[in-house]
A and B are shown apart, each in its own frame.
Chain A
């Protein structure tokens, strides 16, 4: 059984389009995250949700909008895609917000903007 799943795994699209990436976790966790992995492999946190509420919102263009319909899902919608949005996006979840809690990562979605 997949703990944290993301769809799609690959996404190729044109500049200016709007796209969504979906994330689901079946671990019963309270907290979910979106990360962007840059070319240096550094995973930078974008958003964090706890029990469907936004907790962390790092400096991310407002073209990126997370949506959490329930505790098990955290989707990422991106408007007006730009070349610089090309990256791998990872979803993750953890039991709760306690410091030091292990995060479980999805396989990633490779987004390519042409």
Chain B
């Protein structure tokens, strides 16, 4: 069973539009990871957040962790076809490193 709530499950976005994916836990997280899944190549690490209120950006992707460290959002600005894929959040519930996972969000970019 998935212990991180990830929403939406799937998303179809017009190219050039912005979008947001959310990841929520009922527990305070030690660390939150965002990955992009490419079939046959495994997951690509995007960002890791550890501090409450932390925000990181890479190219057109921004990830934030709320102050309580229970919710994270991944925001893509001006989406492109290369952004299509499945986005997965994973989290450490404590420092002993046992990851829990969201169910993934399938992102489709319409040209």
Chain A residues proximal to chain B, CB less than 8 Å = 1-3, 9, 33, 35, 40-45, 48, 56, 88, 99-105, 107-108, 110
Which of B2, B48, B97, B103 has the most chain A CB within a 10 Å cutoff? B97
Q: Which label, helix, strand, loop or mixed, suits the secondary structure of the A interface? A: loop
Whole-angstrom distance between the alpha carbons of A9 and B98 in the complex?
8
With A2-B1, A56-B40, A105-B90 given, is the CB distance from A43 to B35 under 8 Å?
yes
The answer to whether A1 and B45 touch across the interface, beta carbons within 8 angstroms, is: no
The answer to whether A108 and B99 touch across the interface, beta carbons within 8 angstroms, is: yes
With A45-B41, A99-B39, A105-B90 given, is the CB distance from A3 to B1 under 8 Å?
yes
The answer to whether A43 and B43 touch across the interface, beta carbons within 8 angstroms, is: yes
Q: Provide a sorted-by-A list of 15 A–B residue pairs whose CB atoms are within 8 angstroms.
A: A2-B1, A3-B2, A9-B98, A41-B33, A42-B43, A42-B44, A45-B40, A48-B40, A100-B86, A102-B106, A103-B104, A105-B88, A107-B98, A108-B99, A110-B97
The answer to whether B37 and A108 touch across the interface, beta carbons within 8 angstroms, is: no
Interface string of B23-44 (1 = CB under 8 A from A): 0000000000101010111111
Taking CB atoms, residues of chain B closer than 8 Å to A110 are 97
Taking CB atoms, residues of chain B closer than 8 Å to A45 are 40-42
Whole-angstrom distance between the alpha carbons of A99 and B86 in the complex?
11
